Structure 1
Amino acid sequence: MENNLRVAKVHFALSVFYVIFLIIFVLDRFLGHSMESLENKIVDVVAIVMTVTLIGGIHFLISRGAKNKKPWARIASIIVACILLVGIPIGTMIGIYLLKYNRWSKDYNATPLVEGAIE
């Protein structure tokens, strides 16, 4: 399997994980036996939905870019992998995996600014 596809699958799996986390969190907040007011629950849910949607969306965009061997996706994936290294132990394992396979060939369609610049 090509390295870019490995990276794309990891980022896609992480985006799916965030969607599952979001569903479980929302169900727990509204179906749980908490004594908090409905207003507090709604504020919590809105904050978490916005945060998790942003993080999951970033992973999804990186997975689409990595699948198509986009150079920006490689850089974004390296940045995300470095951030994940702090999340001991699972984030560290995912971060190391992403860093290991973040080397894919540059056979994307690049147009050189100067003729003969890309050999």
Structure 2
Amino acid sequence: MNNEAKIEDYRSAAKIHRGLGIFYVILVLLFAYLSIESGMWGASVLVGAIGVLHFLAYYGLNNNRGWGSALSGLLAVLLLFGFPIGTILGASILFYMFRVPRKSDNDPLQPVGSGTVD
């Protein structure tokens, strides 16, 4: 897989992180509103921290930073435990992060290194 294709895969994973970051911002606002009366801000802080991590992963992947792919992989593995939706999103991110390179677009089922010797 060439470098441009890998960057496109990283950008696809980054879009998932951006969506999750927006989702967590909405949750923070909801938890903050609900905690006004109860005074329990712990959930808002925790969800906010997770949202910040997803936005950092989005930034790192979108700008082709090495730490972005490491953070993305870590968050994707943690998402796998959030059955069923988190599992689907985590698996999608891991798919984009660690896709097996293909020999050509003409034969998408043949990975690089397999086949006959010319």
Matched AA of 2:43: I
Q: CA shift at 1:28, angstroms?
A: 3.5
- Bigger drift between 93-102 and 76-85 goes to 76-85
| Unpaired segments ≥5 residues, structure 2 | 100-118
TM-score by length of 2: 0.71
Partner of 1:22: 28
Contact 2:15 2:58 in 1 (8 A): yes
| Unpaired segments ≥5 residues, structure 1 | 31-37, 105-119
Q: Percent identity, aligned pairs only?
A: 33
Residue number among 15, 18, 26 corresponding to 1:9 in the alignment: 15
**Over 6 Å off, 4+ runs:** none
d(CA) in 1 for partners of 2:82 and 2:93? Answer: 14
d(CA) in 2 for partners of 1:77 and 1:98? Answer: 8
Higher RCO structure, 1 or 2 (CA under 8 Å, sep 6+): 1
1:26-66 deviation digits (Å, cap 9, x = unpaired): 33344xxxxxxx5xx11x1x212211111110110110000
TM-score by length of 1: 0.71
